[in-house]
Amino acid sequence: MLNQDEQIALFVEAINKDAEKLCKKIDKETKQLYASEVEKLRRKAEEKMLQRINYYKNETETDFNKNLALDKTANRQLLCDKRNEITQKVFALVREEISAFTEGDGYAEFLEESLKSICGYTCGAVEIFARGADTEKVKAAAERLGIEYTVSADEGIALGGIRVADRSANKIFDDTLDLRIQEQREWFLLNSSLGINI
């Protein structure tokens, strides 16, 4: 049988072993809890960071797209302005050429050929409209062609040429230089490679 000191020593030793086991268990659980909490915090921080990154990414993309749209609009407007400027210059030169043509010797012949061509489609008397400066030339051409006609000055015809009304057939033939230049302007805009595609 063990004496009291030996029993106390064994008892203390048993308590120390239990305390050591309990300490190891607590230490292990503490480490697991610590690791678990650290992982939770890491995930939470990572989630917040990703949210912030996505927020700034979206903000940046939105700003970029907004600025790009504004730049495109500004560039489109610059291109439109430049295209209009080029078109205006080209057609100002065309108007100068037409003006020089209407002052030249070939213009009366042009009016007569135009009238002759139109009268091939008319039936009887016609009403001819021309610029005020052209009425005498048109009358002379109609006389040479033997057409039954009346001539009226038309302020709507700015560049030259004629417009003929056949009242009996209820038709109007427009061979004015104004209409020709308008048609050429439309053709020019479609075929001049000045289109704007942004």
- For residue 198, being part of any structural domain is answered with no
- For residue 27, being part of any structural domain is answered with yes
Last residue of a domain, one of 48, 76, 103: 103
Tens of pLDDT, residue by residue over 136-152, are: 999 999 999 999 999 99
Which pLDDT score, from 0 to 100, does residue 1 have? 65
List the structure tokens of 10. Answer: 């064994």
130: which residues sit within 8 A by CB, 6+ positions away? Answer: 111, 137, 138, 151, 152, 153, 154, 157, 160, 161, 162, 163
Last residue of a domain, one of 49, 68, 103: 103
Domain membership of residue 28 as a residue range: 1-103
Lowest-confidence pick of 37-41, 79-83, 119-123, 190-194? 190-194
Lowest-confidence pick of 19-33, 127-141, 173-187? 19-33
- For residue 177, being part of any structural domain is answered with yes
Same domain, 110 and 175: yes
Percent of the chain past pLDDT 70, that is, above it, reads: 96
Same domain, 88 and 118: no
DSSP per-residue letters across 87-153: HHHHHHHHHHHHHHHHHSTHHHHHHHHHHHHHHTT--S-EEEEE-GGGHHHHHHHHHHHT--EEEEE
More confident residue, 190 or 114: 114
More confident residue, 164 or 24: 164
End-to-end, the C-alpha distance of the chain in Å comes to 105
Which pLDDT score, from 0 to 100, does residue 75 have? 78
Whichever domain contains 142, its CATH number is 3.30.2320.30
Last residue of a domain, one of 54, 80, 103: 103
Is the model's pLDDT at 198 over the cut of 80?
A: no
- 3-state class of 10 per DSSP? helix
More confident residue, 61 or 173: 173
- 3-state class of 166 per DSSP? strand
Tens of pLDDT, residue by residue over 8-63, are: 877 788 888 888 888 888 888 888 888 888 888 888 888 888 888 888 888 888 88
* Greatest pairwise CA separation for the chain in angstroms: 160
Which pLDDT score, from 0 to 100, does residue 57 have? 86
More confident residue, 129 or 65: 129
CA distance 45 to 38: 10
Domain count for the chain: 2
Helix axes 135-145, 106-119, angle to 10 degrees: 50
CB 173 within 8 A of CB 163: yes
Q: What is the average pLDDT value for the chain, to the nearest integer?
A: 87
